[in-house]
Amino acid sequence: VKKVALNSLMNRAAWSVLDQADVVIYLLDAEEESFDGDLDFFRSVVKSSEAPVLLCLNKTDKLKREALDGPILRAEQLIAQVKDSIPAESATNLVAETPFLISAKRKESLEEVLKIAANGLPEGPWLYPADDLTDRSQKFVCSELIREQAFRCLGAELPYHLAVKVDTIVFNPGIVTIDALIIVGRPQHKGIVVGKGGSKIKELGSKSRLSLEKHFEQKVFLELEVTVDTDWVNDPLSVSNYAELEVENFMNP
């Protein structure tokens, strides 16, 4: 698998807080046919962490119960391989020898994981005001709401090569006006996002507007434009810009 700047950024973000974590939850996609690519990374996580590590099989709602036997077995083998290849004191970080089965669509499946996580979290002072929902900018939140609808409208693969940058948000009485740029990495992706006769961009705009109106609790006028930034996922400056991150934090080893 080609290592791109975006993947490097996400991995670095995870590693940077590993030693601060009180609980580590490692997610595997239940639909993946093999977890071989996770062996080295999962081993490093368990070995480096000083916190309990839970291995979770996600998206279990997409498979019938009998079809889960294979992913469960492969996850158990992954746990066993890691456990046998690291010092005994590190192996005790593993909470269980079998994966936890979870799905965001089936909240009951999350109860055990949340209970274990809550028991491992110490009480502490508020780091932000109690009524704050996020420490990110309003533009970033809007870009994520639009990008969420891109996942829903365009399928599973393309949105990983798609970024959204909100240029302006103007608050007027009774309406919020938003101008946003949809960035894709290849010229052919632009055609997919726009769709035949503009059908896809119209659908994306309509669904994004509804999501934004729910967020702002008032009417929204949304203007979307699609542009190509060739191979942006491999450009640290572009990745940092679109994700609103400090480029120095990304560039430094």
Domains, the chain, with CATH or none: 23-119 (3.40.50.300), 138-251 (3.30.300.20)
Res. 173: pLDDT tops 90: yes
Please give the pLDDT value at position 250. Answer: 45
Average pLDDT, the chain: 88
pLDDT per position as a tens digit, 139-149: 999 999 999 99
Please state the φ and ψ torsions of residue 53, each to the nearest 5 degrees: -120, 125
Q: Mean pLDDT over residues 194-216, rounded?
A: 96
Please state the φ and ψ torsions of residue 24, each to the nearest 5 degrees: -115, 125
pLDDT-above-70 percentage for the chain: 91
**Alpha-carbon 76 to chain mean position:** 24
Res. 188: pLDDT tops 80: yes
pTM of the model: 0.71
Please give the full DSSP string across 138-183, using - where no structure is assigned.
HHHHHHHHHHHHHHHHH-SSGGGGEEEEEEEEEEETTEEEEEEEEE
Res. 9: pLDDT tops 50: yes
**Confidence tier at 214 by pLDDT (50, 70, 90):** very high
165: β partners: 181
> What is the C-alpha to C-alpha distance for residues 40 and 165, in angstroms, rounded to an integer?
34
> What is the C-alpha to C-alpha distance for residues 99 and 76, in angstroms, rounded to an integer?
7
